[in-house]
Structure 1
Amino acid sequence: MANGILVIDKPAGWTSMDVCAKLRGVFHEKRVGHGGTLDPMATGVLPIFIGRATRAVEFTEKYDKEYIAELKLGVITNTQDITGEVLEVRPVQASRERLEEVLEQFRGDIMQLPPMYSAIKINGKKLYELARKGREVERPARPVTIKALELLDQQGEDLYTIRVRCTKGTYIRTLCHDIGQALGCGGCMSSLRRTETAGFTLEPDCLDGAYTMDQVLAAEHPEELLLPVDYAFRDLPALVIQGRPVVLARNGAPFPAKAPQGCRNTWHDGGLCRIYDGPRNEFLAVGRYVGQEIKIVKSFFEV
């Protein structure tokens, strides 16, 4: 039975659910989920959670994401990326220096209007379903934080490569569209590659580096590519228990505990921790320290 995390370098043309569907067959496991949707045109880091590890997906939302995107100036589309219907083509007169100036207004905390071609629901309807019917509805702008926005390269007068580090819920194609609007010539996203999400990267030489689908499909023992479930919580302090607390934890009940030695700075009331069954050397659960006891937040051992 497969349990673990597989970091995929998603190919263009695949949906995130396409990847999950393919891996259900590879691992003969129905429980397969992903940690953050990528549009079909996008490539890059897509963490896949398999088996009991699917219970960890909800914990991936707090992490920042990083992207390398191409900004195509002078072209406005209905989807805000190059795959959409071209609505308008404008001449590009903005210089690189002017673009650098405009980028400054998009750094930090900003309000972003979600695109119509998105899965956000308004009155129970997904926006993209309405957009495909030619409808546009009012939707509220949402706060997002652009923690880094860097101009990396320029190809010609209208194509730029940018690096974006942002909080969850940020639409990079909307960012490209809005930058184009601020320049007065319009713009759209012409390519997108996610380089980091949920703490996972593309680096091939790292433990949490990504595999291509070809590598996974060619692997004789694909289960050997999986990271352990607790790797998703590697930044949390670890608590090893034994005796009566193990019995309580396995039944989802709170148990008394003190801060592990060496974890005083990261161990605080309301904080999360990893819980291990010491005698079995088994990852049991994620818990929350409340008062002088640990309350189980989510269990990960096979029942």
Structure 2
Amino acid sequence: MARKRKGRDISGWLVVDKPAGLTSTAVVNKVRWALDAKKAGHAGTLDPEATGVLAVALGEATKTVPYITDALKAYTFIVRLGQATNTDDAEGEVIASSDDRPDDETIKAALGAFIGDIMQVPPQFSAVKVDGERAYKKARDGEEMALAARPLWVEELLLVDRPDADHVVLEMTCGKGGYVRAIARDLGDALGCKAHVKSLRRIWSGPFQASDGITLDQVDALARTPELDAFLQPLEVGLEDLPEVRCLAESVAKLRNGNPASVIASGVEYGEEVWASFEGKAIAVGTYRGGEIQPSRVFVA
């Protein structure tokens, strides 16, 4: 018989401004401990050396993680020109170099090829699975893999600063599944000068902003106190990209039991995915079918 996980039945989102040097999993574990939460997860992994928005879902909010993962997100990152590394970031070994340094106009012109629907080959050091094993584990053993290209939507990619000849600061807005390290690598190849990511920061992810994030030092200082609870955002924030329909009082129990029920909707199309609320609280996510929804996810009160 499985042991029941201890902790509070607490639900919501805690936006952490992740520091460099920690894995996303380590941050989630710290937050779970600090809030004494029974269940926690995150929406979108950040590399250990990356900083910025790591949205941690607690309790019932974990059911809304896919909607944050699917949402647009934005990064600002420094690209080091003239060097390619085996990890495509500053943590790796330099494997190729160049003395060429393109000017700003040449770089801006090259960015156009990375906007819109693109195909991207993940870095060798990535969490992509190859024959049932993570690519980074094979890469650490010196194995070179032919990883398949994956689709990525890039809404915007801008040159925002040029501190010196060796570095450019870029800002990118993209969909899910993208590797910023691969953008830097491929841009360096396109420019003929080689490149890698020197530093990376996620500035927003869906509805969550880095400026609203709490630091891990604050999490430590406020651990197991009501003051930390006050930083929680409601789980409904994770559903902002879905249309909202309102439940009738008699529909609440039906939906929570996984049964279709009547809702009040406006401007919602038949077959559209929606979330149902009652008195402002999320009851279920489901498919709208002309006056009622068929729930696919339900939220426990």
TM-score under structure 2 normalisation? 0.91
Runs of 4+ with >4 A deviation: none
Give yes or no for contact 1:103–1:149 (8 Å, CA) kept in 2: yes
Please name the residue that 1:214 is paired with: 217
Give yes or no for contact 1:92–1:157 (8 Å, CA) kept in 2: no
- The answer to whether the aligner puts 1:45 opposite 2:45 as a matched pair is no
Structure 2 counterparts to residues 5-24 of structure 1, below 5 A: 5-24=13-32
Structure 2 counterparts to residues 26-45 of structure 1, below 5 A: 26-45=34-53
The amino acid that maps onto 1:211 is I
Shift of 1:34: 0.4
Give yes or no for contact 1:285–1:301 (8 Å, CA) kept in 2: no
2:230 aligns to what SS in structure 1?
helix
- The answer to whether the aligner puts 1:252 opposite 2:296 as a matched pair is no
> Would the alpha carbon gap of residues 23 and 186 (structure 1) be closer, same or farther in structure 2, given more than 3 Å must change?
same
Please name the residue that 2:269 is paired with: 268
Give yes or no for contact 1:10–1:46 (8 Å, CA) kept in 2: yes
> Would the alpha carbon gap of residues 100 and 238 (structure 1) be closer, same or farther in structure 2, given more than 3 Å must change?
closer
1:170 aligns to what SS in structure 2?
coil
- The answer to whether the aligner puts 1:181 opposite 2:182 as a matched pair is no
The amino acid that maps onto 2:286 is G
2:251 aligns to what SS in structure 1?
helix
- The answer to whether the aligner puts 1:284 opposite 2:283 as a matched pair is yes
- Aligned-pair identity (%): 37
1:73-96 superposed Cα distances (whole Å, 9 cap, x missing partner): 001100000111111222133222
Give yes or no for contact 1:109–1:146 (8 Å, CA) kept in 2: yes
Unaligned runs of 5+ in 1: 204-208
2:173 aligns to what SS in structure 1?
strand
Give yes or no for contact 1:35–1:198 (8 Å, CA) kept in 2: no
The amino acid that maps onto 1:275 is A
Give yes or no for contact 2:248–2:278 (8 Å, CA) kept in 1: yes
Please name the residue that 2:153 is paired with: 145
Please name the residue that 1:159 is paired with: 167
The amino acid that maps onto 1:272 is E
The amino acid that maps onto 1:269 is Y
1:57-106 superposed Cα distances (whole Å, 9 cap, x missing partner): 12222211100000100011000001111112221332222112211222
Q: Aligned equivalents of 1:288 and 1:133: distance in 2?
A: 46
Instruction: Using the TM superposition, name which of 102-111 and 5-14 deviates more.
Output: 102-111
2:112 aligns to what SS in structure 1?
helix
Instruction: Using the TM superposition, name which of 229-238 and 170-179 deviates more.
Output: 229-238
Q: Aligned equivalents of 1:223 and 1:201: distance in 2?
A: 18
- Match among 86, 90, 102 for residue 78 of structure 1: 86
Give yes or no for contact 2:242–2:273 (8 Å, CA) kept in 1: yes
Shift of 1:181: 0.7
1:113-145 superposed Cα distances (whole Å, 9 cap, x missing partner): 111111111221211111011111222111212
1:239 aligns to what SS in structure 2?
strand
1:174-197 superposed Cα distances (whole Å, 9 cap, x missing partner): 100111111111000000000111
Q: Aligned equivalents of 1:127 and 1:115: distance in 2?
A: 9
Shift of 1:258: 4.6
Shift of 1:275: 1.9
Q: Aligned equivalents of 2:220 and 2:44: distance in 1?
A: 22
Q: Aligned equivalents of 1:4 and 1:241: distance in 2?
A: 21
Q: Aligned equivalents of 2:104 and 2:243: distance in 1?
A: 46
Shift of 1:244: 3.1
The amino acid that maps onto 2:12 is G
Shift of 1:255: 1.4
- Match among 78, 96, 117 for residue 88 of structure 1: 96
Question: How many residue pairs were aligned?
Answer: 290
Q: Aligned equivalents of 1:149 and 1:282: distance in 2?
A: 37
> Would the alpha carbon gap of residues 86 and 295 (structure 1) be closer, same or farther in structure 2, given more than 3 Å must change?
same
Please name the residue that 1:206 is paired with: none
The amino acid that maps onto 1:242 is L
Shift of 1:166: 1.0
Q: Aligned equivalents of 1:146 and 1:68: distance in 2?
A: 14
